[in-house]
Amino acid sequence: MEIKKISVIGGGTMGNGIAHVFALKNFKVNLVEISSELADKSLLNISKNLDRQVKKESISEKDKQEALSNINKIIGVDKTPPDSDLVIEAIYENKEAKLNIFNIINDIVKKDSIFASNTSSISITELSSASRPERFIGMHFMNPVPVMQLVEIIRGFSTSDDTYKAIRELSIKLDKVPVEVFDYPGFISNRILMPMINEAIFALMEGVASATDIDTVMKLGMNHPMGPLTLADFIGLDVCLAIMEVLYNGFNDSKYRPCPLLKKMVAAKKLGRKTGEGFFKYS
Ligand code: NAI
């Protein structure tokens, strides 16, 4: 089956990036939001991000206009077009809310379409249970979607080979680099990244070095573009804690225990960039 029509549920940080990259490659995209205002906000963000690409001359003004004309806004998940070949869910990270979305669209959208979730940590196998397990898959894009090349493709327990192949080929058409990952807590990206960030927070808590010096070690010593504590602030400390809890509970292994300092900072609402303060201060 050729995938031509895409529905993206949720037009937030990730959803608008996903709609952007598909629309730019001439796919027809339905952007599904909960209100007209939020859908407009999402489209405005896409337009601004396309402008940035026009300025850098990586796309033309005509490409931008065509991309925007490929996006159709839809209000309410129950209005998801039944002829969607692929539905990508990108609402907030909550298992019950996501299961509810898949439950609703399973009754509406044609039976041979594929369902994907952009979740960064919830089990694809569990999410697939509400709808069509063989035609269900994880498509974990990275933020910002138009810039980052990687897509982790996560195969749930029952994901069929055909579904995997279709999504792999589709990712390549988007000029992304897909990697095949099986469904274990944190997949690959967060299983490796988050314990590193957590360890950096332990080192800070134990007074091994200052926050700036910990980041300097990883930037200048390991050639990381950003230190782990700056990265944690960028991702959001609440998100980091939630993912560490997924790893800790999913593996029942103490090596994934969230650092007490991370917990304390989340309790104090020092969540990083979005609250103006985390390991560093932002104005
Ligand atoms: P966000 O909070 O920016 O956006 C979520 C959007 O979904 C909002 O615009 C909201 O109005 C919409 N929404 C909520 N309920 C809806 C419904 N019933 N129907 C239609 N739209 C609905 O969230 P973000 O950051 O884009 O995250 C989305 C998913 O992507 C999460 O599962 C997250 O774990 C994952 N993710 C996030 C990354 C990030 O850096 N932000 C990176 C990779 C994955």
Q: Is residue 102 included in any domain, yes or no?
A: yes
- Separation between Cα atoms, residue 149 and residue 207, nearest integer Å: 36
15 and 65 belong to one structural domain: yes
Q: Note down the domain range covering 208.
A: 190-274
Evaluate: CB of 19 within 6 angstroms of ligand 1.
no
Of 156, 182, 208, the position where a domain reaches its end is 182
Contact 45, 73 (CB under 8 A): no
127 and 259 belong to one structural domain: no
* Count: domains in the chain: 2
175 and 269 belong to one structural domain: no
Distance 21 CA to ligand 1 centre (A): 16
Distance 228 CA to ligand 1 centre (A): 23
Q: Locate all alpha helices (DSSP H) within the chain, ordered by sequence.
A: 13-24, 36-55, 61-69, 95-108, 124-128, 161-173, 189-205, 211-216, 222, 228-235, 237-251, 260-267
100 and 145 belong to one structural domain: yes
216 and 196 belong to one structural domain: yes
153 and 207 belong to one structural domain: no
Of 151, 182, 213, the position where a domain reaches its end is 182
148 backbone dihedrals φ, ψ, rounded to 5°: -85, 135
Q: In what order do the strands lie in the sheet with 86-89?
A: 71-75, 28-33, 5-9, 86-89, 114-117, 136-141, 150-155, 177-182
Q: Among 113, 123, 128, 152, which one carries the catalytic annotation?
A: 152
Evaluate: CB of 46 within 6 angstroms of ligand 1.
no
169 and 194 belong to one structural domain: no
Q: Is residue 68 included in any domain, yes or no?
A: yes
Contact 243, 120 (CB under 8 A): yes
195 and 73 belong to one structural domain: no
Contact 229, 201 (CB under 8 A): yes
Q: Is residue 280 included in any domain, yes or no?
A: no
Q: Is residue 279 included in any domain, yes or no?
A: no
Closest ligand 1 atom to residue 100 Cα is 18
Of 134, 156, 182, the position where a domain reaches its end is 182
21 and 57 belong to one structural domain: yes
Q: How far is CA 213 from CA 37, 206, 265, in A?
A: 44, 14, 19
38 and 95 belong to one structural domain: yes
211 and 98 belong to one structural domain: no
Per-residue tens of pLDDT for the chain, all 283 residues: 799 999 999 999 999 999 999 999 999 999 999 999 999 999 999 999 999 999 999 999 999 999 999 999 999 999 999 999 999 999 998 999 999 999 999 999 999 999 999 999 999 999 999 899 999 999 999 999 999 999 999 999 999 999 999 999 999 999 999 999 999 999 999 999 999 999 999 999 999 999 999 999 999 999 999 999 999 999 999 999 999 999 999 999 999 999 999 999 999 999 999 999 999 999 8
- Separation between Cα atoms, residue 260 and residue 23, nearest integer Å: 43
Q: Is residue 282 included in any domain, yes or no?
A: no
Which CATH number do you get for residue 127? 3.40.50.720
